[in-house]
Structure 1
Amino acid sequence: MKKKWLLPIFASFMFFTGVGIHDAKAATIADITNTAKAYLGVPYQYGGTNIQTGVDCSAYTQIVFSKLGISLERTSKAQYQQGTAISKDNLKTGDLVFFNTSGSGISHVGIYIGDNSFISATTSSGVKIDKINDPYYWGSRYVGAKRVATFTDNDFGEVKEAEIDFSIYASRGEVALRLANKLQLNTSNTNSSFPDIKPSSKYAGAAEALKKIGVFTGDENGKFNPGSPMTRGQLSKVLVEAFNLKQQGTAEQFADVPNAHWANTYVAILASNKITVGKGDGTFGVNDNVTLAQLDAFIQRLTQ
């Protein structure tokens, strides 16, 4: 039986197509913003549709909306034909915003996330957050917006039991596998000292190799918990220790990681080494579960 975790369950989603806004409830504002931000740092690739290797702007929006059960067309021009036109003054979180960056019509799309900000896959920096009225670039290239679904206010009602989608989020076992591979560790010893990892487990060699170099020590019961998610704060500690990182001058401060927070030193070291720039809103997301895309982005920056 798969381990289950307490997470807010998305509403019963329906697929949206056509030119209008579907009447059915889609998802909450938190759902669309958290899903969109989960891919911060994913690299840009023209024509790319794989979050592991890179995406273009319309593939990014298509992927994000698909996670919420909403169907978008493949290209920015085709997406501009969906939904209902919305004026800039009436933008709401989750609206698609479109730009002319090529001089020949619609060529870029992003997702409005409030506070005059939008998130998109950019050619220069991959998935990142920008200001929609940026006077140096985006402001003069803005074309319009479309609403393909209406996202509701955060639902603080009942929290139900749901499985974490490990096709999106990184389990502790997957973190171990990818780190051991990138560090080229000897993973031949599968006689794991962690009581919850059998020698036959695909995580056995990686977990033991990382324990040998002091990266993983287990919980209070000595367990590795390979099927558990890992927070961004926990990952910061793992990465600092795995790559033996040191503080490099002054680091950016994040509102959710005060000096008294246990992860402050680790997050500061990552930031000082330009491994993280946070979530684009002044926070690091220290308690957010790490996504596979974020994990790959961190590792890529560490090994460039």
Structure 2
Amino acid sequence: MRKMAPLLIVFLTLSMFAQSLTVMATTKDQLVETAKTYIGTPYHYGGTTPNGFDCSGYINYVFEQLDVNLPRTTSGLYQEGTSVSKSDLEVGDIVFFNTFGSGVSHAGIYIGDGEFIHASTSRGVTTDSLNSDYWSPRYLGAKRVTETEPEIEQASLETSRELEPGEYRDVKENHWAYDEVLNLSQDDVIHGTGDDEFGVNGDLTRAEVASLLVRANDLSAEGKNSSFIDVEGHWSAKEVAAAEQAGFLDHLTGERFKPEEKVTREEVAVMVANAFDLEANGQNGFTDVTQVHDAYDEITALKEHGIINGYDDGTFRPNHTITRAEFAIVLYKLMN
């Protein structure tokens, strides 16, 4: 047995090393996925939320989702971590630029293949190439913060703690929708996607919205039959039938419901206004939802009741999809 001990130690060491590599790879995938969730979010000087970001506010927000706390300013970020050469860049490294004057004035997150994601002053959150004609001559350097902040690995390893009712591993206490998700889950209105995950950044489907509105209104779905020919056998068939008969789906025409189609912010506004009998009394102020818009009244009603907000640039973006976390906030406001 003593002769086997060194082999056992080597095996355990290799196993732990392999697990560490897996954790790091998984965490970096999560970082990129989280960062890309906010593509299209407008630039807002001093912004630190999905309503609008500046470059360092965006980086802070993304890393906070993985429990990594960083300095608030770009110059502060430049003092963090370990310097890495451009040829050794890894996913998750923070890249820095001089866009005017001297010194660091802009930063983004490296996402691989020579690309980085950042909050651009002209286009909001977007991706660009480090080797582009604009960014290449302005590149200053990069810092690696994931190795000096063990929390980023600990966040992925934290699977042993028993969750409280209504908690999910991808909706931590510092998440902007934590309270809403927790309360709705505890009230059995919303559920996760499995494996203790809520699917916080996943887009909602038409079937999911219909089902959530039925639950929120405490409607019985038993014994209901839908006129839509494509919901028979679908998990949401009874809820869709209940939503249809309650008038939540009056905006739809034709014989197909398309239960797996991703819903837009516009359609959510229509379904919610129908479900909660919300009416408009004034104007919404959105530059991209004028009075000729088909869903003008419904969007205006939700704005007037404080259920939805637009973006800092004055738009509502009716054709954008809505995530599960965003709809949780809408639903919570409606029910409270």
Shorter-chain TM-score category? Answer: 0.5 to 0.7
Aligned twin of 1:228? 261
More helix by share: 2
* Percent identity of equivalent pairs: 21
Give the letter for the 1:34 counterpart: G
Aligned twin of 2:303? 271
Among 249, 262, 282, the alignment partner of 1:216 is 249
Cα distance per residue 1:128-162 (max 9 Å; x no partner): xxxxxxxxxxxxxxxxx9788xxxxxxxxxxxxxx
| Equivalent-residue separation in structure 1 for 2:284 and 2:142 (angstroms) | 35
| Equivalent-residue separation in structure 2 for 1:223 and 1:214 (angstroms) | 16
Greater shift after overlay, 263-272 or 217-226? 217-226
Whether the 8 Å contact between 1:83 and 1:147 is mirrored in structure 2 is: yes
| Equivalent-residue separation in structure 1 for 2:292 and 2:248 (angstroms) | 22
User: What are the residue-to-residue correspondences of 1:151-166 with 2, within 5 Å?
Assistant: none
Whether the 8 Å contact between 2:206 and 2:263 is mirrored in structure 1 is: yes
Matched, 1:34 2:66: no
Aligned twin of 2:193? none
Deviation at 1:112, TM superposition (A): 5.8
Matched, 1:75 2:68: yes
The alpha-carbon distance between structure 1 residues 147 and 256, as it changes in their structure 2 partners (threshold 3 A), is farther
Greater shift after overlay, 253-262 or 85-94? 85-94
Give the letter for the 2:239 counterpart: A
Q: Find the residue that maps to 1:289 and give its secondary structure.
A: coil
Cα distance per residue 1:181-238 (max 9 Å; x no partner): 111111112433211111x422111111111111114744321110111111111111
Matched, 1:298 2:298: no
Report 1 or 2 for greater relative contact order, CA contacts < 8 Å, sequence distance ≥ 6: 1
Give the letter for the 1:233 counterpart: E
Among 211, 215, 236, the alignment partner of 1:177 is 211
Gapped runs of 5+ residues in structure 1? 1-14, 19-25, 42-56, 65-72, 97-110, 120-144, 149-164
Whether the 8 Å contact between 1:58 and 1:74 is mirrored in structure 2 is: no
Q: Find the residue that maps to 1:33 and give its secondary structure.
A: coil
TM-score, normalised with respect to structure 1: 0.53
Whether the 8 Å contact between 1:194 and 1:218 is mirrored in structure 2 is: no
Q: Find the residue that maps to 2:279 and give its secondary structure.
A: coil
Among 259, 275, 287, the alignment partner of 2:319 is 287
Matched, 1:201 2:198: no
| Equivalent-residue separation in structure 2 for 1:213 and 1:170 (angstroms) | 21
| Equivalent-residue separation in structure 1 for 2:64 and 2:310 (angstroms) | 21
The alpha-carbon distance between structure 1 residues 279 and 195, as it changes in their structure 2 partners (threshold 3 A), is same
Aligned length: 202
Deviation at 1:117, TM superposition (A): 11
Whether the 8 Å contact between 2:38 and 2:50 is mirrored in structure 1 is: no
Whether the 8 Å contact between 2:278 and 2:298 is mirrored in structure 1 is: no
Cα distance per residue 1:151-175 (max 9 Å; x no partner): xxxxxxxxxxxxxx99610000010
The alpha-carbon distance between structure 1 residues 31 and 299, as it changes in their structure 2 partners (threshold 3 A), is closer
Q: Find the residue that maps to 2:257 and give its secondary structure.
A: coil
| Equivalent-residue separation in structure 2 for 1:235 and 1:147 (angstroms) | 41
| Equivalent-residue separation in structure 1 for 2:120 and 2:247 (angstroms) | 42
